[in-house]
Amino acid sequence: MATKGVFRVECPQCGESFDADFWTVVRGDRDHDVKELILIGEFDILSCPKCSAMFRHEEPFLYIDPPKDMLAFVMPESYQEKKDEWIARMKADYEPVRATLAGGQGITGEPLYLFGLGPLTELLESDRDREEETEVMEFMAREDGLHLLPVKPASARELDIFFSMPMPAGLSGRAAALKAAKDLRAKNDALPRLKKLVDTLGALKGESVPFIKNQ
């Protein structure tokens, strides 16, 4: 998959015009350095070859992370003025390639249409926070001999729970999951998402847990 494109840009400081490389597709699960640039706010910073001025220049790009079930069209912030028009255009461009682009990567959710890096950074930061808390929970669960089942990433974001959930070996129902979560919580009440998981499981009816992946 092509990941870079060349665009002509003009330095706002000295007016020099030059060719610059831009990422057109970023794979969140593979391009770790690029993802880091997004997180630290340096993704779209250019340096003028003539006067060395640093400036920001946005071009549209696609952000894909299949394991996280995420596909986002990230457009320059200035496009927000004509937001509806741009979203309609992106949707029209996307429909014919949906099967290849999303389906081929195992992405099931609807694409996101974001304006500027702000909303993407926010999402990535929240995912990273969730990942870190998930790791702590998983460590505790393994120590207790519990198994871990993956949670649908979109559900994890929507319900603000972990990317996985503890489950006693050999079991799969809601009551068993609720007990496992409560037992972990009794040992560590410092994980906000463990409380969320207990509350979420407690509020469900029946034995099935709809947010477990591949079930």
Residues of the shown chain interacting with Zn ion in the complex, contacts defined by CB under 5 A: 11, 13-14, 16, 48, 50-51, 53
Pick 13 or 80: Cβ nearer Zn ion: 13
In the complex, minimum distance from the CB of residue 11 to Zn ion, in angstroms, rounded to a whole number: 3
47 sits in which H/E element = strand 45-47
Pick 47 or 78: Cβ nearer Zn ion: 47
In the complex, minimum distance from the CB of residue 44 to Zn ion, in angstroms, rounded to a whole number: 16
> Do 213 and 156 contact (CB within 8 A), yes or no?
no
Pick 20 or 101: Cβ nearer Zn ion: 20
Pick 58 or 183: Cβ nearer Zn ion: 58
Residues contacting residue 107 through CB under 8 Å, at least 6 positions apart: 64, 66, 69, 70, 71, 101
In the complex, minimum distance from the CB of residue 17 to Zn ion, in angstroms, rounded to a whole number: 9
In the complex, minimum distance from the CB of residue 57 to Zn ion, in angstroms, rounded to a whole number: 12
Report d(CA 174, CA 94) in Å as an integer: 38
> Could you tell me how far CA 200 lies from the centroid of its own chain?
22
